[in-house]
Amino acid sequence: MPAISAPLHHVGLVVRDIETIARGYAELFDINIWHIAHTEPLLTRAVVRGERTTFGGRVAVGTAPWGSTFWLIEPAEGRSTYKDFQATNGQGIHHLAFTMDDAAADGAIAALASLNAPVAQEYDLDGVGSVVEVDTRSLLGGFYIQIIRPLAGGTVTLPADEELDLAGTYARPAGVGPLPVPNGIQHFGVVVRDMVARTESYTRVFGVPEWSVQNWRTEEGSLENPTFDGRPVEHEYFAATTPFDSALGFEIVQPTLGPSDYKENFLNVVGEGIHHLNLVGLAGHEHWLTLRSWLTATGVDVCMSGTLGGGIAEFYYLDTRKRLGGLAVECFGLDPSVDLTTMEGKGPYYRIGSAVFDGQEA
Ligand SMILES: [Fe+2]
């Protein structure tokens, strides 16, 4: 059994200033309505790394038109893992959150403990339920797993004392934007130092049935025309991805040779962690050019790009870190006539199955 089989409840980010970052989500993704709560009046029984404490701050909750919910956490005074994360990372994805009943939560916490991922923080939130944050930074790469046991009734709604409505506070050029997200978050792109060790951890935690692994390298048939910070580069990285139809998808990236955004602007700066969301679908190169001129005008640059498989696919990483709170966004466009399974057998490519459960299926 995997440690966690519940669906994702929200993506939790630590940010410096809620209003600034919420504006980025509004302008780029049409997440215009944010419900903001002050933490301290709602918080009881807080224990952080074994010590009773209390902490302040604000949380803003917004839901995308494509269904994902984001919690923007602005820590203030008092010790918390959010404050720790702010010190080490500045901004970025602090946790992935799951809601569970008591039995499932106890099971998940015990399973994670057996994988050397201890509870880092727990507290009760008035009107929400009890929250446990497991320190999975070493196990999964730089972020926590948050487990919420909802109050009776089962739904989690943060009691907000303020609503921020950003509709109409920004303008996009005619016919452009927001960024097109046809199928929600396709994967969380996690940059790590050891891809093989991490894939095994993810399989144990999330029950990933199979990984597709590629050693992407600058050469014909693999990674073509790669750029980093606007310049052509030669670089390489290992990437292991979960199946395309995963409800919760991951891409585990280990940068190796040459300069890349993964390494120079992320791993070398904040260490392992969730580097990007893959969610933007491009409908051809002209579509990309239209988006790019709008993005450039809003201060979002391309930090890495390339084409794959003789031009059947193109990808662009947007440096949205200042707009979205430490997070880059991957745009991907695939020639619609291409069957992705034809990639198999081309170049260095293999699959890792689910044999880690002592012969059980994941
Ligand atoms: Fe990716």
- The alpha carbon of 189 and the centre of ligand 1 are apart by a number of angstroms equal to 5
User: Percentage of residues in the chain with pLDDT exceeding 90?
Assistant: 80
Q: How many residues does the chain have?
A: 362
**C-beta separation of 226 from 232 below 8 A:** yes
Nearest to 253 by CA among 202, 303, 207, 301: 202
Task: Give residue 359's pLDDT band: very low, low, confident or very high (50, 70, 90).
Answer: very low
pLDDT at residue 197 is higher than 80: yes
pLDDT at residue 355 is higher than 80: no
Q: What is the pLDDT of residue 75?
A: 97
- The alpha carbon of 150 and the centre of ligand 1 are apart by a number of angstroms equal to 32
Task: Give residue 343's pLDDT band: very low, low, confident or very high (50, 70, 90).
Answer: low
Q: What are phi and psi of 321, to 5 degrees?
A: -60, -40
**C-beta separation of 134 from 184 below 8 A:** no
pLDDT digits (tens, 9 = 90+) for 49-72: 999 999 999 999 999 999 999 999
How far is 273 from 266, CA to CA, in rounded Å? Answer: 8
Give the residue carrying structure tokens 């991922």: 117
How far is 246 from 84, CA to CA, in rounded Å? Answer: 31
Give the residue carrying structure tokens 């049935």: 209
- The alpha carbon of 275 and the centre of ligand 1 are apart by a number of angstroms equal to 9
- The alpha carbon of 39 and the centre of ligand 1 are apart by a number of angstroms equal to 33
pLDDT at residue 100 is higher than 60: yes
How far is 345 from 151, CA to CA, in rounded Å? Answer: 50
- The alpha carbon of 130 and the centre of ligand 1 are apart by a number of angstroms equal to 33
The helix/strand/coil state of 181 is coil
The enclosing H or E element of 47 equals: strand 43-48
- The alpha carbon of 80 and the centre of ligand 1 are apart by a number of angstroms equal to 30
- The alpha carbon of 239 and the centre of ligand 1 are apart by a number of angstroms equal to 8
- Contacts of 83 by beta carbon, 8 Å cutoff, 6+ apart: 55, 75
- The alpha carbon of 252 and the centre of ligand 1 are apart by a number of angstroms equal to 8
DSSP state of 160: -
- Of 120-124, 224-228, 325-329, 356-360, the poorest mean pLDDT is in 356-360
Q: What is the pLDDT of residue 243?
A: 86
Q: Are strands 187-191 and 250-255 parallel, antiparallel or unpaired?
A: parallel
Q: What is the pLDDT of residue 278?
A: 96
What would the mean pLDDT of 42-46 be, rounded to a whole number?
95
User: Percentage of residues in the chain with pLDDT exceeding 70?
Assistant: 93
- The alpha carbon of 317 and the centre of ligand 1 are apart by a number of angstroms equal to 9
- The alpha carbon of 328 and the centre of ligand 1 are apart by a number of angstroms equal to 10
- The alpha carbon of 272 and the centre of ligand 1 are apart by a number of angstroms equal to 15
**C-beta separation of 278 from 184 below 8 A:** no
- The alpha carbon of 219 and the centre of ligand 1 are apart by a number of angstroms equal to 19
pLDDT digits (tens, 9 = 90+) for 115-152: 999 999 999 999 899 999 999 999 999 999 999 999 87
**Residue type at position 150:** P
How far is 236 from 166, CA to CA, in rounded Å? Answer: 40
Q: What is the pLDDT of residue 273?
A: 98
How far is 138 from 42, CA to CA, in rounded Å? Answer: 30
How far is 274 from 191, CA to CA, in rounded Å? Answer: 6
pLDDT at residue 101 is higher than 50: yes
Average pLDDT value for the chain? 91
- The alpha carbon of 1 and the centre of ligand 1 are apart by a number of angstroms equal to 27
Strand partners for 274: 190
Confidence (pTM): 0.94
- Of 12-21, 137-146, 322-331, 351-360, the poorest mean pLDDT is in 351-360
- The alpha carbon of 330 and the centre of ligand 1 are apart by a number of angstroms equal to 6
Q: What is the pLDDT of residue 339?
A: 66
Task: Give residue 156's pLDDT band: very low, low, confident or very high (50, 70, 90).
Answer: confident
Q: How far is CA 282 from CA 180, 219, 229, 329, 357, in A?
A: 7, 24, 21, 13, 38
Q: What is the pLDDT of residue 105?
A: 97
- The alpha carbon of 187 and the centre of ligand 1 are apart by a number of angstroms equal to 7
Task: Give residue 358's pLDDT band: very low, low, confident or very high (50, 70, 90).
Answer: very low
The Cβ of residue 173 has, within 10 Å, a number of other Cβ atoms equal to 11
- The alpha carbon of 215 and the centre of ligand 1 are apart by a number of angstroms equal to 14
- Of 278-292, 306-320, 346-360, the poorest mean pLDDT is in 346-360
In the structure encoding, which two tokens stand for residue 256, read together?
């190796």
- The alpha carbon of 188 and the centre of ligand 1 are apart by a number of angstroms equal to 7
In the structure encoding, which two tokens stand for residue 287, read together?
């579509």
- The alpha carbon of 23 and the centre of ligand 1 are apart by a number of angstroms equal to 24
